[in-house]
Homo-oligomer: A and B are copies of this chain.
Amino acid sequence: MNRKEFRDLASPTEAREAIDSLSIEGGVERVPLENACGRVLVARLDAELDVPGFDRASLDGYALNARDTFGADEADPAELDVVGVVHAGEEPEVVLESGQAAEISTGAVMPDGADAMVPVERTDVGGDVNGGTDENGESGEDHESNGTVLVRTSVAPGDNVMFAGADVAAGERALGPGTHITPRDIGLLSALGVDEVPVRRKPRVGIVSTGDELVRPGGELESARGEIYDVNSYTIAAGVEDAGGEAVLYPHAGDEQDEMEQILREAAAECDLVLSSGSTSASAVDVIYRVIEEQGELLLHGVSVKPGKPMLVGRLDSSAYVGLPGYPVSAMMVFRTFVAPAIRRAAGLSEPESTTVTGRMARDERYGEGRLRLMPVGLVTDSDDGGAGDGDTLVYPVDKGSGATTSLAEADGVVEVGPETDYLERGEPVDVQLFSPDVRPPTLLGVGEDDPTLNRVLDRLDNPRYLSVGSRPGLRRLREEIPDVAVVAGPIGREHGLEATELGRWERDWGLIVRAGNPDEIDGLDDLVDRDLQFVNRTADSGLRTSLERALADLAEERGADQHDLTTEINGFDIGLRAHESPARRVIAGTADAALGLRDTAERLSLEYVPVGTQTMRVLVNPDREDKASVRELESVLAEGVVGDVGL
């Protein structure tokens, strides 16, 4: 193998500095006001006009001369001739003289000769109220509303008038450079009549996926060839958009150098930053390495961080370049830790407030490799006044291995563990960088057996997380006091010593799943033992497997045989699959004749179900979490499901 060895790993600080030294700013563009929210202003905007542009009535009422109201009050109103009306959006047609007033609407232009206004509530129509003669005044022109008004208060010049420029005056600094435009700023820009603003262009980030085995989601997968769906492209693209960049996806590049070079250079020509990502194969990494080294400039190769060691930083033509690790979790964490801050900076955005949460370690965690560790973690709250950030948040490492895409979905963020730290103690406070500001820790954390009824129960809860690790590992984790509940199937065995309250239970029918119509005429476990059939089992963690083993023990006793001898007669007894539907899918695929499974699954997949037994599913609650709202909610959903037939 020609794999390059990474010598002299750079420190995380050096990696950050190398990335900072790359220029990934996107320049300037003008965007219409309606698209300006969330963007970053590049230049100061000064007011080019007065707001309002005229002296403006603040209320509905009468424009007048303040001196004509001198001494007026409720008992002794001033009577003024009404000589006109001014509506909003009209140019006043009257000029007031002493002793005159004009009816005026909120927002209308104050007529010349008026220096104040009185709200309608402090006036009465002249004549009507006083029971006067209702004589038409001679003073006005032919206005419909002529007559007089009684003003029952005195006002000072300027009262209830917003003078031109009182809100914003021409020449005033309205918004500074670097302003992150939010709806309130849109208001100010609208008031100034600005319909287009100069903002930072979003940095264009090209994403080049590498690896012959990758297929874009939606495409046809050939598992026999080891094809897998491309996880990194869309995930990193979403991360880029989250950080304020514009993501551009390029076609997959294979491991061939000319093709790789062509795609990377195309991306470099069109983007401010190129990220390569996707393949974990050493040869693809090697090819990229050669392209960057020969055609660009390689600033560093390999960073002392776990995961993320095989990281590249450099330049290609006029673009910046960062090579991310191939495994999705590693790629996401390295992106989140090293690349997203640089994109955010180039976009002119600061780190969102909501991206960091403080919590306590839910269990001890050892680590002593002397490298910075980016530890993916999940969050769970241990009480309700809890919620993120106030110390009631528990943090547990998610350790499915970096190859697992589910560790991404099961983790909420990353804890950076410094190279000097070899031990994190249970209860120790840690800062969690959420994967994105919108990430919400789950309201309920459950672990245990997987089950279709349970899936429907979970659908009725708000944002639960369920880790289907199997019944026994579920009980083990409940004893570690991390999850809120564990769901266990069938006979529990020695682990039953756990003192946990049962929150609810239901029964499920299990047996053998066989082809539609049962062409092999399989009647039960006897057939598996006695005939040449291909069987598929579940893993030993599964409660279903435990029930199967009990049933086989019963069968052995019935036959007076040894259980071990019985199971060795079953072809495929040792082929244990992890999820409740996977064995049945082997039957569909034709690679098995019978599979361990549930009646529910057989029905869902239109297969035949051969009954063997019934199994009790129990939901057990962590004693410390019995009062948590989400636990109570789960309890009531379970109770409903049993009492009222709500189709669980």
Q: Encode contact with B along A460-480: 1 for CB under 8 Å, 0 otherwise.
A: 011110101000000000000
Distance, CA A228 to CA B191, complexed state (A) = 7
| B226, A108: Cβ atoms closer than 8 Å | yes
**Cβ of A148 under 8 Å from chain B:** no
Residues of B within 8 A of A38 (CB): 438
* Interface-centre pick from A182, A187, A217, A326 (highest chain B CB count, 10 A): A187
A566 to chain B, nearest CB (A): 22
> A58-B403, A176-B458, A580-B171 in contact; A105/B468 too (CB < 8 A)?
no
**Cβ of A621 under 8 Å from chain B:** no
Binds B, one of A84-92, A608-616, A623-631, A635-643: A84-92
Q: Which residue of B lies closest to A462 (CB)?
A: B178
| B218, A195: Cβ atoms closer than 8 Å | yes
> A178-B462, A405-B187 in contact; A165/B577 too (CB < 8 A)?
yes
| A88, B46: Cβ atoms closer than 8 Å | no
| A105, B165: Cβ atoms closer than 8 Å | no
Partner of A169, one of B56, B177, B233, B577: B577
> A44-B455, A169-B579, A581-B170 in contact; A224/B332 too (CB < 8 A)?
no
Q: For residues 410 through 461 of chain A, which have their beta carbon under 8 Å from a beta carbon of chain B?
A: 411, 435-440, 450, 452, 455, 458-459, 461
Q: Encode contact with B along A161-172: 1 for CB under 8 Å, 0 otherwise.
A: 011111111111
**Cβ of A60 under 8 Å from chain B:** yes
| B237, A34: Cβ atoms closer than 8 Å | yes
Distance, CA A234 to CA B182, complexed state (A) = 11
> Do most interface residues of chain A lie in helix, strand or loop, or is the interface mixed?
loop
A427 to chain B, nearest CB (A): 23
| B235, A459: Cβ atoms closer than 8 Å | no
| B169, A582: Cβ atoms closer than 8 Å | yes
Residues of B within 8 A of A237 (CB): 34, 186
| A409, B103: Cβ atoms closer than 8 Å | no
Q: Encode contact with B along A73-90: 1 for CB under 8 Å, 0 otherwise.
A: 000000000000011111
> A50-B582, A440-B180 in contact; A458/B173 too (CB < 8 A)?
yes
Residues of B within 8 A of A173 (CB): 450, 455, 458, 466, 468
**Cβ of A229 under 8 Å from chain B:** yes
Partner of A187, one of B192, B400, B408, B577: B408
Distance, CA A403 to CA B187, complexed state (A) = 12
Partner of A279, one of B88, B216, B239, B577: B88
A269 to chain B, nearest CB (A): 22
**Cβ of A179 under 8 Å from chain B:** yes
Distance, CA A281 to CA B86, complexed state (A) = 12
Partner of A175, one of B1, B53, B409: B409
Q: Which residue of B lies closest to A464 (CB)?
A: B176
* Interface-centre pick from A54, A171, A174, A353 (highest chain B CB count, 10 A): A171
Q: Encode contact with B along A250-293: 1 for CB under 8 Å, 0 otherwise.
A: 00000000000000000000000000000111110000000000
| B217, A190: Cβ atoms closer than 8 Å | yes
| A280, B162: Cβ atoms closer than 8 Å | no
> A235-B184, A332-B187, A408-B187 in contact; A281/B87 too (CB < 8 A)?
yes
> A89-B213, A226-B107, A582-B165 in contact; A401/B58 too (CB < 8 A)?
yes
| A239, B183: Cβ atoms closer than 8 Å | yes
Partner of A184, one of B105, B195, B332: B332
| A221, B193: Cβ atoms closer than 8 Å | yes
| A171, B601: Cβ atoms closer than 8 Å | yes
Having A90-B212, A91-B222, A105-B281, one finds 14 other A-B pairs with CB under 8 Å, namely: A44-B455, A47-B579, A56-B403, A90-B226, A107-B211, A107-B226, A107-B281, A176-B461, A184-B411, A187-B235, A190-B230, A193-B218, A352-B354, A437-B437
A-B contact pairs, 23 of them (CB 8 A): A1-B60, A47-B579, A52-B223, A53-B227, A54-B224, A60-B282, A91-B222, A91-B224, A91-B226, A108-B213, A162-B403, A163-B578, A166-B404, A171-B450, A173-B455, A173-B458, A182-B238, A183-B332, A184-B436, A187-B232, A190-B234, A191-B229, A194-B218
Closest 5 CB pairs of A and B: A171-B581, A169-B579, A195-B218, A53-B223, A89-B213
